[in-house]
A and B are shown apart, each in its own frame.
Chain A
Amino acid sequence: MAHAATHDHHDEHHGAPSNFFTRWFMSTNHKDIGTLYLIFSLTMFFIGGSFAMVIRAELFKPGMQLVQPYFFNEMTTMHALVMIFGAIMPAFVGLGNWMIPLMVGAPDMALPRMNNLSFWILPFAFALMLSTLFMPGGGPAGGWTMYPPLSLQSDSLPYVVFAIHLMGISSIMGAINIIATILNMRAPGMDLLKMPVFVWSWLITAFLLIAVMPVLAGAVTMLLTDKFFGTSFFNAAGGGDPVLYQHVFWFFGHPEVYIMILPAFGIISEVIPTFSRKPIFGYKAMVFAIASIAFLSFIVWAHHMFAVGLPLGAEIFFMYATMLIAVPTGVKVFNWVSTMWGGSLTFETPMLFAIAFVILFTIGGFSGLMLALVPADFQYHDTYFVVAHFHYVLVTGAAFAIISGTYYWLPKWCGHMYSEFWGKMHFWNSVVWVNVLFFPQHFLGLAGMPRRIPDYNVAFANFNMISSIGGFLFGASQLIFLGVIIHAVFFSKKKASDRVWEGARGLEWTVPSPAPHHTFALPPVIHDEELAHGHVDD
């Protein structure tokens, strides 16, 4: 703590630039860029959410009431692209930007100018992609997976491909920056195996990003040349193979799934020990589990393609490999529960979201295990069962972890406590309505409702109506989140202490709240007992 005080004194001479444009547009400060990422992500969360509202409104009852089928397909496609590339991924990069330097005792990211560039590419990429909705031919409507030949029928393909190239460049630069920061900028004494699990999870995620974003770029570039330059990568009539695209896409796509969940594991692994007032159970097992999941993510891609007519041997291999993922994932869940066991628990909003994460993500994991069983997947594949599965892992998984992390670190960012009452209102509304929204979709899928359809048989009417009601209320609940953040940043009178939470451990809690514009200009002296995992020897 003595050191943090020294830094304060130093920091007073280097505040944030007072000019709005200079501060936010030309920033090289990891905290400001982190804030920009988070604001961008929240904006995209609401834009993508509004697309979901259109989808749920059309599916409220049988018959077509609101939109044409093609526009419905544009909505499903855009909802996925915006949520994946615009909301979830930038939110994690934002949290990483803000917290990684603070957690490892670095003064900033390793490559601050590139950091600025990797953020400012994103608004242009998304402006380009969203603009297709206003074009005469409409936006992309072939699903976010963009399977050819269908995706080649869309005139907006080049816009989307270029936008994806930009997002990929942004992600790769962000990943390089995070790896460089973690490997080079740690304060003396911050050994790799003393780093917070969140930092570990981001280090591994960053390698995944660098490995697979170029694969996605390659796949969509081949779509582009097939459409405009006469190649036949995926065109059967020219000797190509439409299934090749799916192999290449999912070689990106499956690691991408873990890119969206590993940092979430990291956040939860910080929040649960803090509010259990007990060190995380099995620190090394946690890190090793993340690494094994990351490795396995490269050899399971074809489980998204069990119905394309793979050879028997391939189906068996990909089934076994996929089922193996349950082991490290199970270890993580058991370790979180064991962290809570014997602790001294309090239930502030971040902890509530973290507990909901563990339970609901596990339910998503269960349906994932069921989906791995190929004969059963012949029934589940491309139904609402799959929709329920990936929303449990992405909404109550990734998004809940992001929300948990936001409540957890918000007092550190803005220096004021958020309203605990409204935080809990947000939590209880979210957790109830998200289940009303997604749980019935399991039943719809099992009963035989395919995904990505704008209208359905009367047999599916009841659960769709329940799901839509849950959807509207879950969507509305997120406005509470917006309100809580605005209140905490601009209006809250309650000062946050430096440590903020009684059980919080780690370097980020040794700097003042709000964190000054520059921190750790001099490397902090590390006391192992100050760290969350300072003297863990298991």
Chain B
Amino acid sequence: MTSGGIRFKAWAAAACALFGGTAWVSTALANPQPGQLNMTRGVTEWSSEPYFLNNVALGVCIVIGVLVFGAMFIAMFRFRKSRGAVAEKWSHNTMLEVVWTTIPVIILIILAWMATGGLTSFADTTGSQMTVKVTGYQWKWRYDYVDYQGKAIDKVGFMSKLDEQSNETRQLDSGLDPRAVKVGDENTYLLNVDKPLVVPVDTKIRFVITASDVIHSWWVPALGWKMDAIPGIVNAAWTNIKVPGTYRGQCAELCGQDHGFMPIVVKALPKAEFARWLAQQEAATKAPPATPATPASPTPAKASTAAAPAIPAAKTAGKQG
């Protein structure tokens, strides 16, 4: 009922025009666009849930709004004193009151049913083929690769912070033009990092999310959700990206002065390319034997299921703050 229903909605129509149809959006359009009016549909298995729910709820609101405001405007024109309207005396109507209490309840039950479905599928992080630990710091992110396809990953992890060009441009009175911060044709001012999180497509990836100092929130709109990164707590969320591309997001929980300057970039690669990238990273960490292990890196894990290995490491990280 969702995909059919939205076509009638004014905003959804505008959004469809903007996104060029209802098929999977191209990767560039998953990131914020000038003049964008509606939520992105995202690029993952799950990200259409909030998008459809948003459109359906918006449609319901517009219909109710048209009816209520329409009645109000009719009243304002028909019952003007200047047009000789004489006030009537009635002040209730049981039938009407029952109707306008019952109908909203029915609409709400339908919306709640739809939302519950989406929520339940989001809460299910089982069966993941990869685990990435995300740690928020003031004001950067750390990514640690925990396991991939049942194998523990050894010491692949790095900090990810605002790219140098955005950082210079964003200084007060820098005199630099934010419009000049570009990667290709895309303006990436404040939405680019020095080292993106690289992940494979078509893989159920479980994120375990925590923070080491204050609360942050990890949000990439194209993935369809945000999850708070809280010191001392490990939250779990999952994604399964369907389209290769570069997806940009930002910290969504106020975390201090540079809250606006700790973006998130997720680079989704086809599986083969990702395997190559991962092998390179593992080789790089093994090459210089003197590389000190960072305290936040995961303990060597024997786990084949996704559940266990990240948690002890995450707790350690949490206690640092």
- In terms of DSSP, what is the predominant structure of the interface of chain B? mixed
Chain B contacts for A362, CB-based, 8 A? 65, 68-69
Contact between chains at B122 and A378 (CB < 8 Å): yes
Contact of B260 among A241, A363, A370, A455 (CB under 8 A): A455
Residue B40 at the chain A interface, CB threshold 8 Å: yes
A-B contacts besides A147-B214, A362-B69, A382-B226, 10 pairs, CB < 8 Å: A73-B256, A141-B256, A141-B257, A345-B81, A382-B252, A383-B252, A443-B37, A448-B40, A448-B221, A458-B179
Contact A346-B224, Cβ < 8 Å, known A236-B321, A333-B68: no
* CB closest chain-B residue, reference A453: B260
Residue of A whose beta carbon sits closest to that of B188: A457
Docked complex Cα distance between A443 and B15 (Å) = 11
Q: Are B75 and A345 in contact (CB under 8 A)?
A: yes
Q: Hey, which chain A residues are within 8 Å of B35, CB to CB?
A: 462-463
Given A326-B108, A382-B252, A452-B254, residue A343 in contact with residue B87 (CB < 8 A): yes
Sorting the interface of chain B by its residue count into under 10, 10 to 19, 20 to 34 or 35 or more gives 35 or more
Which residues on the B side are within 8 Å of A147 (C-beta)? 214-215, 253-254
What CA separation (Å) do A452 and B108 show in the bound complex?
31
- A–B pairs, 20, beta carbons within 8 Å: A62-B179, A62-B189, A64-B173, A64-B174, A65-B172, A73-B256, A142-B254, A312-B123, A319-B112, A319-B116, A326-B104, A330-B104, A346-B80, A367-B61, A375-B49, A448-B32, A448-B221, A450-B260, A457-B178, A538-B94
Q: A341 contacts B97, CB within 8 Å?
A: no
- B residues sitting closer than 8 Å to A (CB atoms) are 31-40, 49-51, 53-54, 57-58, 61, 64-65, 68-69, 71-72, 75-76, 79-82, 85-94, 96-97, 100-101, 104-105, 108, 111-112, 114-116, 118-120, 122-123, 169-174, 176-179, 187-191, 209, 213-215, 217, 219, 221, 224-228, 230-233, 235-236, 249-261, 318-319, 321
Interface code A121-142, partner B: CB below 8 Å = 1, 0 otherwise?
Answer: 0000000000000000000011
Chain A residues near B174 (CB-CB < 8 A): 63-64
Chain B CB within 8 A of A112 CB: no
| Contact between chains at B228 and A236 (CB < 8 Å) | no
B179 neighbours in A (Cβ, 8 Å):
62, 458
- Chain A's closest residue to B178 (CB) is A62
Chain B residues within an 8 Å CB radius of A142: 254, 256
Q: Assess A319 versus B115: contact at CB under 8 Å? Given A64-B172, A307-B227.
A: yes
Q: Contact between B233 and A338 (Cβ–Cβ < 8 Å)? A: no
Q: Is the CB of A236 within 8 A of B123?
A: no
- The residues of B that contact A184 with a CB separation of less than 8 Å are none
Indicate if the CB atoms of A453 and B250 lie closer than 8 Å: yes
Supposing A334-B68, A340-B75, A448-B40 touch, asked if A153 and B172 sit within 8 A by C-beta, the answer is no
Interface centre among B68, B169, B221, B260 (most CB of A within 10 A): B260
A285 to B99, CA, bound (A): 14
A459-B39 Cα distance, complex, nearest whole Å = 14
> Contact at B215–A242, with CB atoms within 8 Å?
yes
Question: Which A residues, 59 to 85, have Cβ-Cβ distances below 8 Å to chain B?
Answer: 62-70, 73
Q: Is A117 an interface residue (CB 8 A)?
A: no
B190: contacting residue among A282, A334, A447, A457, CB under 8 A: A457
Let me know if A280 and B72 touch, CB within 8 A: no
- Flag whether A508 is at the interface (Cβ < 8 A): no
Closest to A335 in B: B97
Number of interface residues of A (CB under 8 A): 100
A454 contacts B260, C-beta separation under 8 Å: yes
Closest partner residue, chain A, to B111 (CB atom)? A373
Give the residues in chain A near B235, CB-CB below 8 Å. Answer: 308-309
A to B contact number (C-beta, < 8 Å): 321
Contacts of A215 in B (CB 8 A): none
Are B100 and A331 touching (Cβ within 8 A)? yes
B290 to chain A, nearest CB (A): 30
| B219 surroundings in chain A (CB, below 8 A) | 382, 450
Whether the pair B76, A308 counts as a contact (CB closer than 8 A) is no
Nearest B residue to A73 by beta-carbon distance?
Answer: B257
Convert A353-378 into 0s and 1s, putting 1 for each residue whose CB lies closer than 8 angstroms to a CB of B: 00100110011001101100111101
Residues of chain B contacted by A63 (CB below 8 angstroms): 169-170, 174, 176-178
Chain A hits for B250, CB < 8 A: 448, 450, 453
Q: Say whether B104 contacts A150, CB under 8 Å.
A: no
Q: Contact at B86–A344, with CB atoms within 8 Å?
A: yes
On chain B, the residues within 8 Å of A334 by CB distance are 68, 96-97, 100
**Bitwise interface map of A from 293 to 326 toward B, beta carbon under 8 Å scored 1, else 0:** 0000000000000011100100110011001101
Closest chain-B Cβ to A380's Cβ sits at a distance in Å of 8
Docked Cα-Cα span, A370 to B249, in Å, equals 22
Contact across chains for A457 and B191 when beta carbons are under 8 A apart:
yes
**A454 to B217 Cα, complex, angstroms:** 17
Query: CB < 8 Å: which of A345, A374, A448 contacts B115?
Result: A374
Bound Cα distance A366, B187 (Å):
33
In the complex with contacts A150-B214, A241-B232, A309-B228, A278-B87 CB distance below 8 A: yes
Q: Please tell me if the beta carbons of B38 and A446 are within 8 angstroms of each other in the complex.
A: yes
A381 at interface by CB-CB < 8 Å: yes
Kindly report which residue of chain B lies nearest to residue A367, judged by CB atoms.
Answer: B61
Contacts of B94 in A (CB 8 A): 538
**Complexed CA–CA distance, A348 and B65 (Å):** 24
Contact A379 B226 (CB under 8 A): yes
Residues of chain B within 8 A (CB-CB) of A319 are 112, 115-116, 119
A370 contacts B58, CB within 8 Å?
yes
CA distance A346 to B86 in the complex (A): 12
Pick the contact of B217 from A69, A307, A342 — CB < 8 Å?
A: A307
Interface residues of A in 230-259 (CB under 8 A from B): 236-237, 240-243
Q: Please, how many angstroms separate the alpha-carbon atoms of A343 and B86 in the complex?
A: 7
Residue of B whose beta carbon sits closest to that of A447: B36
With A63-B170, A282-B92 already in contact, the answer to whether A346 and B82 are too (CB < 8 A) is yes
Q: When the two chains form the complex, which single residue of A73, A276, A369, A381 contacts B254, counting CB atoms closer than 8 Å?
A: A73
A141, B178: Cα distance in complex, Å: 25
User: Is the Cβ of A342 less than 8 Å from the Cβ of B88?
Assistant: yes
Shortest beta-carbon distance from B216 to chain A in Å: 10
Q: Are B108 and A382 within 8 A (Cβ)? A: no
Q: Is the CB of B68 within 8 A of A153?
A: no
Q: Tell me the complex Cα distance, A345–B94, Å.
A: 24
With contacts A334-B68, A334-B100, A355-B72 taken as known, whether A449 is within 8 angstroms of B32 at the C-beta atoms is yes
Shortest CB distance A157–B (Å)? 14
